[in-house]
Structure 1
């Protein structure tokens, strides 16, 4: 199942004239990449000046346009941190019409030095828990961005506490100074841990390669049973020194690569089943506990791969 990250928050038209910036351009590219074989788009939006924004009106225009022009496309909104506060970051998920999924990063990340003034992707405990609580209450499935292994265990904790429903969708992000290097042993480690933590059939993963790691990571993803991502957010290159004309060309190249590895392209229905979008999420949060509620979570048992909790200071330990 191919995901297309069309815009991102860094690429500008002065670097590539075909970066989709306006809602109309993003909708156009969404339709083109769907025809080429992509089944989900990861959406960032920009304001009138082309600057990254989290304003709901722009997300709403994109969602309305895609629903009309390409109704089978799965739409995932970003929760990027270029808004001044958490409330603005999540306003787009409170629109009357909801996206299918939302990105969620269970930790903070130091981005490349090119992001002067905003080179830390802040995700405090409050941010992490507030976003996942909103997703649960509104029935939006998270696409979990994993930049290092600690984020995987934070995800598993919230999964055990009932805030994330199976099947869990994970994005393993590789490349640059901000994430793990695209090495096969690291991928095998992450896959092995996920099998232990979530269980076979309860999760799937997408490989995200940033910059020069893009092509290499796509191949490693396909070799190890993952689902690849492409798009101008990640790279302009089809391969080393070959610049794509547009997002569609990146997806077309990836479809060919999938064929080389014997990985057929998912149909729209297969993609929705893989992500669990054909099964409604239970939005009832009564009785659920967040990790920071009364310091409920105390530790990790390596013997049975479970967190233990103590909801009251004098109560016996119990496993979740």
Structure 2
């Protein structure tokens, strides 16, 4: 079996400061947690930016520039910059920093979708910042937009223009077919890195059977030799699903973007805690963990030297 790539999504744009005191918000916190996660075994660091004053999601290149170069200086991990940002950002906002940085990898959501965490608002009794409650409740009535034209634009500008490859985020079965369309159009070439995502309200549910459906469909559409499969389980589904995915021959993604917990009722105090836990599970399953350079080779990445960090 191939070595397993561990991705770590450090902060994201969905969780808010009131949900966990351990969620990194400032450039210093994001850099420190990302570096620690890489030291723990994460080969890929998936990065969003936060307003350092109140923790709201931001696409400001100046904020990204306050922590991404520091991570690049202190780790050899693959730096993966979001093109998803948040539901409130325009496509131009979302591409502002990636087009400047020309990273080895960016995430790419493979379709427009409902993307909601509004039920979480009922559980929070006290909010740290005024923006949080309307932001969380507002996800009930917001669509994340990535049309075929949007996706094509990203593939041309970042992929063809900058040599960036992608973590194709597939929240539903149809997203695999969307990806196949762009393969047919010649805008995407193997090896593909397919991040299959389970448990987000608006996307595919966390049923274990869905992993098999996604895996066999990807086999049929792309041929197993042409893609690397990875698993993201949202919230409490994180560890069970990524463990199952690894057993099925996939790679894994953890991090505080995807789940704030280390175990039942136990908040993770850092991203590195989650990385260390899944690494231990993988090693106990006799699976080897990929280094950053091994991940680069597996995914056909251009290398750190061709970025603009």
Q: TM-score, normalised by structure 1?
A: 0.82
Equivalent in 131, 145, 159 of residue 154 of structure 2: 131
Give the deviation of 1:258 after TM superposition. 0.6
5+ long unaligned stretches in structure 1? 281-320
Q: Is the 8 A contact 2:87 2:143 kept in 1?
A: no
Q: Does 1:188 align with 2:192?
A: no
Alignment of 1:300-311 (within 5 A): none
Corresponding residue of 1:151: 175
Alignment of 1:259-270 (within 5 A): 259-270=283-294
Give the deviation of 1:170 after TM superposition. 0.7
Give the deviation of 1:13 after TM superposition. 3.3
Q: Does 1:117 align with 2:117?
A: no
Return the structure number with greater helix share: 2
Alignment of 1:284-303 (within 5 A): none
List per-residue Cα deviations over 1:154-189 (Å, max 9, x = no partner): 101111221112100111000042222233332122
Distance verdict in 2 for CA 1:200–1:111, change over 3 Å: closer
Which is higher, the Rg of structure 1 or of structure 2?
A: 1
5+ long unaligned stretches in structure 2? 119-135, 305-309
Equivalent in 22, 26, 30 of residue 26 of structure 1: 30
Corresponding residue of 1:90: 95
Corresponding residue of 2:60: 55
Structure with the bigger RCO (C-alpha within 8 Å, sep 6+) is 2
> How many pairs are equivalent?
278
CA distance in structure 2 between the aligned counterparts of 1:111 and 1:6, rounded to whole angstroms: 19
Distance verdict in 2 for CA 1:26–1:222, change over 3 Å: same
Q: Does 1:202 align with 2:226?
A: yes
Moved over 4 A (4+): none
Report the secondary structure of 2:290's partner residue: coil
Corresponding residue of 1:314: none
CA distance in structure 1 between the aligned counterparts of 2:208 and 2:198, rounded to whole angstroms: 11
Report the secondary structure of 1:38's partner residue: coil
CA distance in structure 2 between the aligned counterparts of 1:52 and 1:214, rounded to whole angstroms: 22
Q: Does 1:233 align with 2:238?
A: no
Q: Is the 8 A contact 2:11 2:25 kept in 1?
A: yes
Report the secondary structure of 1:177's partner residue: coil
Give the deviation of 1:68 after TM superposition. 1.1
Distance verdict in 2 for CA 1:215–1:84, change over 3 Å: closer
**Relative to structure 2, which stretch is displaced further, 189-198 or 38-47?**
189-198
Give the deviation of 1:83 after TM superposition. 4.9
List per-residue Cα deviations over 1:276-316 (Å, max 9, x = no partner): 11589xxxxxxxxxxxxxxxxxxxxxxxxxxxxxxxxxxxx
Report the secondary structure of 2:221's partner residue: helix
Q: For the aligned residues, what is the CA RMSD?
A: 1.8
Corresponding residue of 1:221: 245
Equivalent in 49, 52, 61 of residue 45 of structure 1: 49
Q: Does 1:258 align with 2:271?
A: no
CA distance in structure 2 between the aligned counterparts of 1:46 and 1:18, rounded to whole angstroms: 14
Equivalent in 6, 10, 25 of residue 10 of structure 2: 6
Give the deviation of 1:223 after TM superposition. 1.6
